[in-house]
Amino acid sequence: MSERTSRALFFVLCLLLVLLWAPSILLLQSVDTWQLIINTVTTIVIVLLAALLQNTQKRSDDAAQAKLNAIADALADLMGDTHPRDARDLRAAVGLENRESAS
């Protein structure tokens, strides 16, 4: 979904919504109702986009952490034969065992 909202088409749809809303004042009796319509729609869109942004950020953070864990694990494996104490220290510093067992 985040890929769709980052495209120009999403912006065009939002712009089209505003362009359709603006002349609707001619159909409505009250300016308050006219404003309420756009305020409600924009509030809903903002809340949904904020939730989408949070979800996307969490997935991005999780992916970056998984990559860092893989790098640390590979580095510890390479160091394991020649420098076992350093490999243990690296694993302990990163907390690799704890994170992988918790997943």
- Over residues 28-62, the pLDDT tens digits come to 888 999 899 999 999 999 998 899 889 889 989 98
Q: What is the reported pTM?
A: 0.60
- Domains: count for the chain: 1
Query: What angle, rounded to 10 degrees, do the helices at 31-82 and 84-94 form?
Result: 170
Distance, in Å, from the CA atom of 97 to the CA atom of 26, rounded to the nearest integer, reads: 65
pLDDT digits (tens, 9 = 90+) for 57-86: 998 998 888 888 888 878 877 777 677 787
| Domain that residue 18 falls in | 2-102
Distance of alpha carbon 100 from alpha carbon 103, whole angstroms: 5
Is pLDDT at 88 greater than 90 in this prediction?
no
